[in-house]
Structure 1
Amino acid sequence: MGPNRPHSRNPPPPVRTWSAGSLDMPLRQEVHLSRPDALLNQKRRSVVGNLVRRDSAATIDSDWGGGSPRDSGPTITKWEHLQLVPDLLRSISKYGVGPPNKIQQRALPFLLNGADIIAQAPPTQERIAAYVIPAIHIALTSLAVKPQNRGPIVLIISTTVDQATQAQRMIRDLGGAIGVRSALGVGTGGDVQQEIRLLQQSVPHILCGTPQKLHSLLTVPNGLPSNEIRFLVLDEVDQLIARNLHEFVFNIVKLLPSSRPVPPTDSSGSPPNAGNGSGFASSTRRFPPLVHSTNPNDSPGAQAAVIKRQTALFSNTVPQDVLNLANSIQLRDPVRVLVRRDGNVTSSEAQKGGPGSGLKQFYLYLAFTAAGGRLDNNGASGAGLGIIGSGRTNQNAAETAQAKEWKLDALSDLFDDVEIGQTIVHVGSLATLDAVVYKLASRGLEAIPLHTEMNSGAKMAAFHKFRGNNSIMMKQQPVSRVLVVFDVQIKSSDVFQVPLVINYDLPKIVEEYSHRVSPAISTNYSRPGVVVNFVTATGGDVEMLRSIECFYK
């Protein structure tokens, strides 16, 4: 936050958002006297509180994001426990679907009762089934009331072609034999008018696809009507935002039936008290308020029909951007369904301190505003034009430099809060290594560089310095040593068990992750090692995090 910042005016220092309660590590009791006065005077809140744990059991997270908590109800262990259409129950049995898993147990009761949900769960076939089965059920119940449909009843928007194809294939297998028609719209090319003519010959009850193609099918002149859509599913929402596909979704949602009355607007065109009470909106409106449009393809009679839209959002991670998007498309008091990975460790093993409990893994999602500050815990910030690190392609060099500086601040803040004798920090380039070493050294830490261009003697000296005992000349507490590593694989013989490993930059390949975190794994009954992964929405971080979770289950 110095005078050399490449901005016409100096923004206020970013709000500190750290709290060390999650890491289960010794806390630093005093503040470094070397910190600049501006930061000493800044009221600090903790960032470690933002760290998201990745090895918890499935839960309904009633304090998550916004909306009201609800009782999860009875445990669903059989499909017969759900009030599904009998034909669908028989199809599930015939298809050989196993008993409901965690995401299905948690999400289906709410979806079948008509609630909007935001679900965080790993991207698996079971997650796809968690919205495909309600989609078929809603289509069948709608057809029982109104046998003919002019347009789709259910719209499923997936970020990738693979996810959309899997969803449509599952709908075909489960619903095809009981009269549910489905169609797949993916890709960005092709003759859209010809595709629409084919779809109009046999109007699908459920339409699956990617944002670009579905946008074309629904918004072009004489496109598919959207006034009968009762159920909207957005899958892989974090990836949808990271890939800048949300504008297609907004334009589609504007044509759909509203899920709730649109609030009145003030003279500026914004809803009064926007963002208060929902828990989602921030003072920096990354996503504009949704104003429903009239679908030019709908007949006047169809436009007058009142249909309430139900919406389900599924995502592997739920950063603030996902919550803001949910608020922008007007979800009705959404239920938050949080299903985390077990990490292949049973609860009894974790309680007994078995081998699987030797590692605690977290990620920290970093979001930055473009012109006035850094998002805090609740998404609030100073005046901002957008999110640095959100996949926007028009960010300038000044924004990029600011984001890098604040990422360094987040790293140094972590060391201000926890008392760790040894830490390994992995970075993605030599330039980043130099910046991290300089930043940590300026905070009084002993930062030791280790990179691939060093000869074997220099590498051994770095390891020896990192392992060495603290000098007896130190009158105060021992110096914290930080080994800053670029492109060097650390073997178990190189270092002893390290209590904290930080992936400042995520690895480029998933296999590298295990090598990086192995020094933190506890091999006995002592306190588990901790891994913290810094995640931004640019550079494929979100996708890499998801790939790591899938690869290591």
Structure 2
Amino acid sequence: MSFQSLGLSEALLKAISKKGYTTPSPIQQKAIPPVLEGKDVLASAQTGTGKTAGFTLPVLHILSENPKTKFRPIRALILTPTRELAAQIYENVKEYSEFLDIRSTVIFGGVNQNPQAATIRQGIDVLVATPGRLLDLEKQGLVSLKRVEIFVLDEADRMLDMGFLRDIERVMKLMPAKRQNLMFSATFSKDIKKLAHGILQHPVQVEATPENTTVDAIDQLVYRVAKDLKADLMIKLITEGKWKQVLVFTRTKHGANNLCEKLAKAGISGAAIHGNKSQGARTKALSGFKDGSLRVLVATDIAARGLDIPLLPHVINYEIPNIPEDYVHRIGRTGRAGASGEALSLVSSDELTFLKDIEKLIEMKLPVEIIKGFEPDPNESTEPVKMGRGGQNRTPRNSAKPAGNGNRNSGNDNRSRAPKRTNDRRN
């Protein structure tokens, strides 16, 4: 199948060709036709399979085919959980609409709202947004969603993880009841399907791959190691392997900062991105990682979605996630667009329960290796590490009811007391 056969406009086909795309991915083949037909769509696809183009291309086609008014109201809203993902989607929208008369912009917290508001006042067709900043600007009368024709909810499962359910409900009330709705995500829990039932009208359900599976092109390996030797082992792997671009995941912001300090002492350039970093610092770190000036990017799960780095060869789980679905998103940063990749997990004794949960989710036994000199400590406790402040466990998985009061801060898209399941409290 070709992109031409999907029914996209010549202007879009020209932009696609310029990007070097030749054949649509499975999720694009399955999702684009029903979206073009104006149907609501519930789509599940692995991360890194072209999901974003699966909704942006047909949305742009529909908007370009319909007449515009002199002052452009927001006609399509793409809601997404994190700043990085919002920025990535916006870049895709700009690239795909290069030969169309379509205006777009992105809004998120952590930066001055005035330039964002000024762009919206000039009239835009497509708005990409995170929930907190969107509702802040709407409350100030700077954004109107009364003319939205197409609503896209991307990474819906992460939305619930981050406590955005109430905000999603608020946004829904600001849009016309009659509109086209699209929901895309890499994973779908029971709570997500319940949410979809309240948003979508007689949706077409498409699925490119089985839920919660990992890309075949990714070589996955577990290193069993003593907790105190993790940093040394990782430095050994990076140094001896002469790896030039490595994305490393920790569970906490504090852990990310500490690891960067250890890397610096070993002469390895790196930077951390997490919720306590300013948007400017996050953007600078990501830019340095992409252009090769930084060898290692250490991230909390804030970056598990939204990082689009072509041909990223290595992902390391310095600490494996306590939420197994997050493992799928983390390692999905490599092995993208058909390229091969390697995902390594450093697992200490107190993470064995998490490892079992991951293997159960992805329905495969991960290969395990032990490197001499870095053996796991037989005296280490196998009691699962507890997450959250004060050592308290987080809200159980698949709990969609937010505990927060919905208060927002225009500079951050975080949620007070939301039922997130990691220590990172901002997006």
1:487 counterpart SS class: helix
- Larger Rg, first or second structure (1 or 2): 1
After superposition, the C-alpha distances for 1:360-405 in whole angstroms (9 at most, x for unaligned) are xxxxxxxxxxxxxxxxxxxxxxxxxxxxxxxxxxxxxxxxxxxxxx
Cα distance in 1 between the residues matched to 2:108 and 2:351: 41
After superposition, the C-alpha distances for 1:122-160 in whole angstroms (9 at most, x for unaligned) are 222611111110121122012xx2343441111111111
After superposition, the C-alpha distances for 1:35-75 in whole angstroms (9 at most, x for unaligned) are xxxxxxxxxxxxxxxxxxxxxxxxxxxxxxxxxxxxxxxxx
Would you say the 8 A contact 1:229–1:257 is kept in 2? yes
Counterparts in 2 of 1:322 and 1:93: CA distance versus 1, 3 Å: same
Match of 1:175 in 2: 97
Q: Which stretches in structure 2 are left out of the alignment for 5+ residues?
A: 221-319, 323-347, 360-364, 371-395, 400-418
Match of 1:152 in 2: 74
Match of 2:51 in 1: 127
Pick from 189, 202, 214: which aligns with 1:333?
A: 202
In the TM superposition, what is the alpha-carbon distance from 1:188 to its structure 2 partner?
5.0
1:217 correspondence with 2:137: yes
In the TM superposition, what is the alpha-carbon distance from 1:97 to its structure 2 partner?
2.0
Pick from 152, 165, 179: which aligns with 1:246?
A: 165
1:198 correspondence with 2:119: yes
**Following superposition of structure 1 onto structure 2, how do residues 186-335 of structure 1 map, counting pairs within 5 Å?**
186-188=108-110, 190-191=112-113, 195-201=116-122, 203-221=123-141, 223-258=142-177, 308-329=178-199, 331-335=200-204
Counterparts in 2 of 1:251 and 1:78: CA distance versus 1, 3 Å: same
Pick from 161, 171, 181: which aligns with 2:83?
A: 161
1:337 counterpart SS class: strand
Would you say the 8 A contact 2:44–2:184 is kept in 1? yes
Pick from 7, 20, 24: which aligns with 1:100?
A: 24
Match of 2:262 in 1: none
Cα distance in 1 between the residues matched to 2:149 and 2:204: 18
Cα distance in 1 between the residues matched to 2:192 and 2:138: 24
Would you say the 8 A contact 1:215–1:249 is kept in 2? no
Would you say the 8 A contact 1:236–1:316 is kept in 2? yes
1:178 counterpart SS class: coil
Query: Partner amino acid for 2:203?
Result: P
Identity %: 26
1:90 correspondence with 2:14: yes
Counterparts in 2 of 1:214 and 1:344: CA distance versus 1, 3 Å: closer
Would you say the 8 A contact 1:150–1:228 is kept in 2? no
1:328 counterpart SS class: helix
Would you say the 8 A contact 1:79–1:89 is kept in 2? yes
Would you say the 8 A contact 1:427–1:486 is kept in 2? no
After superposition, the C-alpha distances for 1:241-270 in whole angstroms (9 at most, x for unaligned) are 011012222111111111xxxxxxxxxxxx
In the TM superposition, what is the alpha-carbon distance from 1:161 to its structure 2 partner?
1.3
1:137 correspondence with 2:56: no
Cα distance in 2 between the residues matched to 1:152 and 1:257: 12
Counterparts in 2 of 1:174 and 1:345: CA distance versus 1, 3 Å: closer
In the TM superposition, what is the alpha-carbon distance from 1:177 to its structure 2 partner?
3.3
Cα distance in 2 between the residues matched to 1:86 and 1:535: 45
Counterparts in 2 of 1:134 and 1:486: CA distance versus 1, 3 Å: same
**Following superposition of structure 1 onto structure 2, how do residues 393-472 of structure 1 map, counting pairs within 5 Å?**
none
Cα distance in 2 between the residues matched to 1:168 and 1:339: 23
Would you say the 8 A contact 2:15–2:98 is kept in 1? no
Would you say the 8 A contact 1:159–1:211 is kept in 2? yes
Query: Partner amino acid for 1:122?
Result: Q
Counterparts in 2 of 1:539 and 1:234: CA distance versus 1, 3 Å: closer
Query: Partner amino acid for 1:257?
Result: P
Cα distance in 2 between the residues matched to 1:250 and 1:137: 27
Would you say the 8 A contact 1:151–1:224 is kept in 2? no
After superposition, the C-alpha distances for 1:185-206 in whole angstroms (9 at most, x for unaligned) are 01156345x63233212x1111
Cα distance in 2 between the residues matched to 1:344 and 1:252: 33
**Following superposition of structure 1 onto structure 2, how do residues 34-49 of structure 1 map, counting pairs within 5 Å?**
none
Cα distance in 2 between the residues matched to 1:517 and 1:212: 43
TM-score, normalised via structure 1 length: 0.40
Cα distance in 2 between the residues matched to 1:324 and 1:256: 20
Would you say the 8 A contact 1:152–1:204 is kept in 2? yes
Structure 1 runs (4+) greater than 6 angstroms displaced: none
Cα distance in 1 between the residues matched to 2:351 and 2:186: 30
After superposition, the C-alpha distances for 1:302-349 in whole angstroms (9 at most, x for unaligned) are xxxxxx3101111121111111211223x1101111222675659xxx
Let me know the Cα RMSD of the aligned residues: 3.6
Say how many residue pairs are matched. Answer: 248
Cα distance in 2 between the residues matched to 1:81 and 1:180: 23
Counterparts in 2 of 1:205 and 1:217: CA distance versus 1, 3 Å: same
Match of 1:531 in 2: none
Would you say the 8 A contact 2:80–2:153 is kept in 1? yes
TM-score, normalised via structure 2 length: 0.51
1:100 counterpart SS class: coil
Cα distance in 2 between the residues matched to 1:153 and 1:235: 17
2:175 counterpart SS class: coil
Query: Partner amino acid for 1:237?
Result: A
Counterparts in 2 of 1:335 and 1:515: CA distance versus 1, 3 Å: same
Query: Partner amino acid for 2:83?
Result: V
Q: Which stretches in structure 1 are left out of the alignment for 5+ residues?
A: 1-76, 259-307, 347-354, 357-425, 429-484, 490-500, 508-512, 519-533, 544-553
1:321 counterpart SS class: helix
Cα distance in 2 between the residues matched to 1:225 and 1:539: 29
1:116 correspondence with 2:40: yes
